[in-house]
């Protein structure tokens, strides 16, 4: 599948006719038609409905259009990468949880100026980050789960688990609280799709008293809202909000935490640049004590 043929496909999809597309791509009309037919044969689907009113995309064509656009964009980006290293209109598409975007990726990117391509972020639950990188052909995933075997990986940091309470809570003056102590209070835990929950559950399982009272939340922000209204202690990793006080959670005399990784395909065209980006990201995280255990 050649990029030039994908460009023919996109041009026909935009103009609704082979003749108009051929003028745009500066290729003879019969050649464009022949290449599109071969593309359909290669894909095993019909991409266009060829009616009297012109060419319109079939459902298969509609589904293929964003893939073609993405492949063309990546080809052009790769060309600029090697022919114009100073180009600043390039983009890295990163998949991460919303908390990671807010607390790590956005503030880090704001310090980098034009050193790296522009960062764009798609939010996903931690367990689904790398499958979404695959589905979207994104550049890198940043999450608490290690990437698949065969990917490049960079351990970035250990994320501290926090208990957040309002100012009038009995724990509000504490800097550290043990998992056993938290069993004395109603808790607001994240759903099992979040590493904050699985890490906390494992610590509870290792204590003598495993009886805890809790409610679940799919949103860390709404868990904080619930904690601020006195509904329980929010167990999260987010920066404190709504007047809450953050307390680091300990377990067996150690800070309770879990790892965060960056992962990307080994044959990615910008693998060297992504590696440099992750190294700078890890150093930046290490320089911010609030982000590390």
pLDDT mean over 255-277: 91
Distance between CA atoms of 103 and 88, rounded to whole angstroms? 24
What are 171-225's pLDDT values in tens digits?
A: 999 999 999 999 999 999 999 888 889 999 999 988 876 678 999 999 999 999 9
What are 216-264's pLDDT values in tens digits?
A: 999 999 999 999 999 999 999 999 999 999 999 999 888 999 999 999 9
Residue 257, token pair as written in the block: 């935490």
How many residues appear in the chain? 293
Q: Which bin fits 176, alpha (ψ -120 to 50), beta or left (φ > 0)?
A: beta
Query: Tokens 């975007």 map to which residue?
Result: 101
Distance between CA atoms of 258 and 92, rounded to whole angstroms? 25
- At residue 65's C-alpha, the angle toward residues 63 and 68, to 5°, is 120
Domains of the chain listed by start with CATH number? 3-83 (1.10.10.10), 91-157+259-291 (3.40.190.10), 162-255 (3.40.190.10)
Quickly list DSSP for 154-176.
EEEEEEEPEEEE-TTSTTTT-SE
- Measured CA distances, 6 to 48, 66, 72 (Å): 14, 11, 7
Distance between CA atoms of 162 and 235, rounded to whole angstroms? 6
Three-class secondary structure of residue 147 per DSSP: coil
pTM: 0.64
What are 126-180's pLDDT values in tens digits?
A: 889 999 998 888 999 999 999 999 999 999 999 999 999 999 999 999 999 999 9
Distance between CA atoms of 10 and 75, rounded to whole angstroms? 14
The greatest distance separating any two alpha carbons of the chain, rounded to the nearest whole angstrom, comes to 79
């Amino acid at each position: 599948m050649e990029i030039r043929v994908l460009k023919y496909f996109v041009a026909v999809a935009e103009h609704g006719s082979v003749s108009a597309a051929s003028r745009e791509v500066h290729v003879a009309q019969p050649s464009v038609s022949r290449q599109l037919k071969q593309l359909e044969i290669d894909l095993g689907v019909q991409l266009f409905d060829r009616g009297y009113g012109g060419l319109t995309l079939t459902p298969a064509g509609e589904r293929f259009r964003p893939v073609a656009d993405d492949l063309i964009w990546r080809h052009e980006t790769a060309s600029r990468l090697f022919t114009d290293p100073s180009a600043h209109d390039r983009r890295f598409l990163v998949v991460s949880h919303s908390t990671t975007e807010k607390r790590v990726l956005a503030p880090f990117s704001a310090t980098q100026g034009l050193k790296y391509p522009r960062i764009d972020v798609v939010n996903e639950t931690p367990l689904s980050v790398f499958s979404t990188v695959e589905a979207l052909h994104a550049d890198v995933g940043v999450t608490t789960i290690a990437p698949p075997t065969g990917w490049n990986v960079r351990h970035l940091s250990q994320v501290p688990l926090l208990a957040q309470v309002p100012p009038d809570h009995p724990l509000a003056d504490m800097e550290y609280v043990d998992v056993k102590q938290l069993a004395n209070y109603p808790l607001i835990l994240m759903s099992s799709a979040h590493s904050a929950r699985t890490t906390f559950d494992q610590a509870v399982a290792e204590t003598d008293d495993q009886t805890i009272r809790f409610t679940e939340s799919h949103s860390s922000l709404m868990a904080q809202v619930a904690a601020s209204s006195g509904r329980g202690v929010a167990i999260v990793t987010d920066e404190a909000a709504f007047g809450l006080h953050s307390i680091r959670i300990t377990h067996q005399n150690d800070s309770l935490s879990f790892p965060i990784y960056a992962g990307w395909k080994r044959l990615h065209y910008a693998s060297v640049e992504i590696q440099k980006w992750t190294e700078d990201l890890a150093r930046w995280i290490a320089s911010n004590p609030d982000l590390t255990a």
